[in-house]
């Protein structure tokens, strides 16, 4: 099995990474450091997670310890095109977009960089686990931001 995917930009994205969403404050820094020590080079983070300071501190400490080089890390964030222009990010990706969101993004006037990946989960479930999942209401989402539900571009009103 491959340990990374080569993106259209030629950047190599490790297949397995550490997600930092809902990581406990005061603990995420240590989690990132342990992950890097264990060989993880793919760290998923975002401003919305509100833990970027701890994630950044952990990465900086591991770089200073020479446990890892910055260029060997693939930090997934929800950043802007300007960061590609400045050479601060390797590529732009999206996460869990539905087909309407992807189409709207690709048709955006002046789009400089197309996303190179739509981050989704890929794993194998047992027949029993699949039967349980298939018994669920399939148009239900776990994470809803109901304050935004009336907006035209609210993503959870559409099928995937």
Mean pLDDT by 10 residues, the chain (160 residues): 76 86 89 94 85 93 96 80 80 81 87 81 72 67 67 71
Main-chain phi, psi angles of 81, to 5 degrees: -60, -30
Sequence-ordered list of residues with C-beta below 8 angstroms from that of 78, at least 6 positions apart, any chain: 46, 47, 48, 95
What CATH code is carried by the domain that includes residue 99?
Answer: 3.20.20.100
Identify the helix (H) or strand (E) that includes residue 128.
helix 127-134
pLDDT of res. 160: 62
Q: Which residues are catalytic?
A: 49
Task: Quickly tell me which residue has 């989690």 as its tokens.
Answer: 31
pLDDT of res. 1: 39
Residues counted in the chain: 160
pTM for this one?
A: 0.63
5 neighbors 32 (Cβ within 8 angstroms): no
User: Domain containing 77: what range?
Assistant: 4-157
pLDDT of res. 28: 94
Number of domains in the chain: 1
């Amino acid at each position: 099995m491959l340990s990374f995917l080569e993106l259209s930009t030629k950047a190599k994205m490790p297949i397995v990474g550490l997600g930092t969403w809902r990581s406990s404050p005061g603990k995420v820094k240590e989690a990132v450091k342990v992950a890097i020590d264990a060989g993880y080079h793919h760290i998923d983070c975002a401003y919305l997670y509100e833990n970027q300071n701890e994630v950044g501190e952990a990465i900086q400490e591991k770089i200073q310890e020479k446990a890892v080089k910055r260029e060997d890390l693939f930090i997934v964030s929800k950043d802007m095109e300007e960061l590609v222009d400045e050479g601060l990010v390797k590529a732009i990706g999206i996460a869990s977009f539905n087909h309407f969101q992807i189409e709207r993004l690709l048709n955006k006037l002046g789009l400089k960089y197309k996303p190179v990946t739509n981050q989704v989960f890929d794993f194998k479930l047992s027949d029993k686990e699949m039967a349980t999942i298939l018994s669920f209401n399939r148009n239900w989402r776990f994470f809803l931001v109901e304050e935004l539900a009336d907006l035209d571009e609210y993503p959870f009103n559409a099928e995937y």
